C-alpha cells in the first residue's frame, strides 16, 4: 500500500526542531526515537483520515487567444478585445498569451462596481495566472461551485486539474500531541516488553494503561469515509 499524503508530505527533516520543542527536548540525543514516533504518527493519521488532500481546480489555458474569444465564469462573460473596456467586461488582448491571461485574471479579481454588469469581478472567486494558465479558486464554498466555459477549447482550454492542497495545521498539532504523549510514556512500552508473537498485544495494552490510546477529536472534521477519498 502506498504511503498517504501526511506521511509523504510532512518530512522529519522539516519538522525536527518543532517536534523537539513540543516534546521539551534539547539537542539531538532523542532524535531516533522522536523520528520513529513521528513517522508512526503520520501513518496513523493517514490510516484514520483516508483523505488525499487534493481538489479539482478549475483552470483556463490560454493558447493562441484572439479578439472576440470569451470565457464565462459563473454566468459572467469576459470577452477578449483589442482595447479593454471594463464596463463591458472586455479585457485587453496582450502581446502574449500570458499577458492576455493577466488581463483576464485582473478582471475576475476586480472589486470595481459600475458599468453594464454592476461589478467587474466574480464574487467569491480568485484568479491566478501562471504563464498563461489561469486557476480559479473559491474564497469560500467548494471548487465545484465554479462553472467555467469558453468560446473555443482550442484557444481557451477549460478543465479541472487535480491539485494537492496543504496539509491543515490541525493535522500537525495532532502529530505533535501524539508524539509527545508516546515519548513521555515510552518507558511503559519498553519495560519488560516481551518478544515474539505477544508483543503487539502487550504494547497495545500498555499504551491504554499509560493514557496513550489514540483519540482523533482534533482531526475528526478532516476525515473522509472509506470510498470517498
Any domain includes 227: no
Whether residues 34 and 68 fall in one domain: no
Whether residues 148 and 172 fall in one domain: no
Whether residues 59 and 157 fall in one domain: yes
How many structural domains compose the chain? 2
Whether residues 75 and 118 fall in one domain: yes
Phi, psi of 110 (to 5 degrees): -65, 145
**Residue 113 DSSP class:** B
Closest CA to 79 of 44, 103, 114: 103
**Rounded CA separation 191/206 (Å):** 10
For residues 192 and 15, the answer to whether their CB atoms sit within 8 Å is no
pTM for this predicted structure: 0.69
Half-sphere exposure of 188 (CA within 13 A, CB side): 17
Mind listing the pLDDT tens digit of every residue in the chain (229 residues)?
457 899 999 999 999 999 999 999 999 999 999 999 999 999 999 999 999 999 899 999 999 999 999 999 999 999 999 999 999 999 999 999 999 999 999 999 999 887 777 889 999 999 999 999 999 999 887 788 899 999 999 999 999 999 898 999 999 999 999 999 989 887 655 554 455 545 444 444 454 445 557 889 999 999 987 654 4
Tracing cell 500531541 back to the chain, one arrives at: 177
Amino acid at each position: 500500500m502506498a504511503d498517504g499524503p501526511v506521511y509523504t508530505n510532512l518530512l522529519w527533516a522539516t519538522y525536527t526542531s518543532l517536534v523537539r520543542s513540543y516534546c521539551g527536548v534539547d539537542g539531538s540525543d532523542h532524535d531516533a526515537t522522536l523520528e520513529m514516533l513521528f513517522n508512526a504518527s503520520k501513518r496513523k493519521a493517514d490510516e484514520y483520515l483516508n483523505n488525499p488532500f487534493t481538489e479539482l481546480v478549475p483552470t483556463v489555458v490560454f493558447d493562441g487567444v484572439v479578439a472576440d474569444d470569451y470565457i464565462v465564469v459563473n454566468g459572467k462573460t469576459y470577452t477578449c478585445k483589442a482595447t479593454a473596456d471594463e464596463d463591458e467586461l472586455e479585457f485587453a488582448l496582450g502581446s502574449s498569451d500570458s499577458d492576455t491571461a493577466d488581463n483576464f485574471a485582473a478582471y475576475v479579481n476586480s472589486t470595481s462596481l459600475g458599468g453594464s454588469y454592476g461589478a467587474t469581478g466574480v464574487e467569491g472567486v480568485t484568479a491566478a495566472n501562471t504563464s498563461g494558465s489561469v486557476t480559479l479558486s473559491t474564497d469560500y464554498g467548494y471548487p465545484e461551485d465554479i462553472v467555467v466555459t469558453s468560446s473555443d477549447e482550442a484557444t481557451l482550454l477549460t478543465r479541472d486539474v487535480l491539485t494537492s492542497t496543504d496539509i491543515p495545521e490541525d493535522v500537525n498539532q495532532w502529530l505533535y500531541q501524539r508524539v509527545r504523549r508516546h515519548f513521555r510514556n515510552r518507558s511503559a512500552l519498553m519495560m519488560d516488553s516481551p518478544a515474539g508473537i505477544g508483543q503487539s498485544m502487550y504494547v497495545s495494552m500498555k499504551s491504554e494503561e499509560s493514557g496513550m490510546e489514540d483519540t482523533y477529536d482534533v482531526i475528526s472534521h478532516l476525515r473522509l469515509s472509506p470510498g470517498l477519498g
